[in-house]
Structure 1
Amino acid sequence: MVDRADGDRRVPRGAATRQDGSPDMDVVAEAGDGHDAVELTRRHRPSVAVLDFRMPGPDGIEAAAQIRATVPDTHVIMLTTFGEDDYILRALGGGAAGFFIKSGEPEELIAGVRAVAEGAAYLSPKVAARVVAHLAATGAGAMAGRRAAARARADALTGRERDLLICLGSGLSNARIARRLHVVEGTVKAHVSAILAQPGVANRAAAAIVAHEAGLVPPA
């Protein structure tokens, strides 16, 4: 089930058109502003809510925070345009599970919605690359420190946990990680919990950024 709440109507309607052939998805509501997005999410309790950073009313970040606080079982995906990297970093801290470029292919959004609904964090490869590049632009010293911290976090993991961090950086769900690493999903969940226990790794999306900063995932 998907609740699409996007200020740019071209994006959700295009996604809905492509989504019509996806029997495992159901678009249950559309909202014109942040208040509607929060209210409709509370009413329908969808698996995934898709929000625009710049939606009217409370913006996407505030709406996402309200949704995560009141409907914790709903995962939030944020739609972004180029030049909104600061918003992405703020939304990462707010628990958003996915980030997509508005101008991207609808198929990518559908694939991301499906992955996030399964419990994965999904960063469009372009978004992940932009976040790391944006952090680098804040200063070579600061980025060097972030990379060193990311490598330290990765080095503190066991070999299997490190492999799983790479999978998180690639946006894989628990089920796909289990298949790739030839383990059961319970083992994946235990390793994910160990990774998220690291300081500064609050959620799967943040773990994905750590994987990129540590150089574990090839740049997009």
Structure 2
Amino acid sequence: MAPRRLSSGGEVDRDTRLPFRFNGTSYEGFAGDTLASALLANGVDVVASSPIQQRPRGVMTAGIEEPSAFVEITAPTIDVITPATTVELEPGLVAAGRSGIGRLPPNGRPSPRRCEPRNAHVDMLVVGGGIAGLRTAVEAVEAGEDVILVDERSRLGGNPFWSAQESAATERIANSVARLEESPEAVVLRRATALGLYDDGYVVVHERSL
């Protein structure tokens, strides 16, 4: 399909192809790709440019910490600037590289996705859904505490899914996730980033929709 696509492994579903457009060119990726991984698989190295010198910028990381590969999403939703590493590939995705500063949608066109603020009071907030975070959240629930667990990825489990330990950890991760999702004391937020810790234990969390 593409010059850099591995034949197996990873989180992608190679039976489900998804067309998308980037910088006016049509490409194809798989369900489970991020925009960044789909671009790399298609041989696209340059995603954006630096805001001052216009130097080429490519993908440097695999998550929310991405410092260079910023894009603008214009369909099927609108996001004026976001890391390509956090954009999950979906049908009809249209994106373009963005240099440093986002632009407001033309004619004030709003995004079809709504931002709904919510307030929650819990005994424990767990940031990170790897093995340690899952275990901590489960132990808190079993102690009768109200818990929110947030993780930036759509798939919980953390680094074991990217290493040789995957098979040994899969069952443990699945059991922990099931325990949390069936518990009325727990809320699991995927695609969510804790943005800051403020006075009196106040934490702002941004949950992205798909």
**Pairwise same-fold verdict (TM > 0.5):** no
**What is the TM-score of this pair, normalised by structure 2?**
0.29
Higher RCO (CA-CA < 8 Å; seq separation 6+): 1
Query: Which structure features the higher share of helix residues?
Result: 1
**What is the TM-score of this pair, normalised by structure 1?**
0.28
Query: Which structure features the higher share of strand residues?
Result: 2
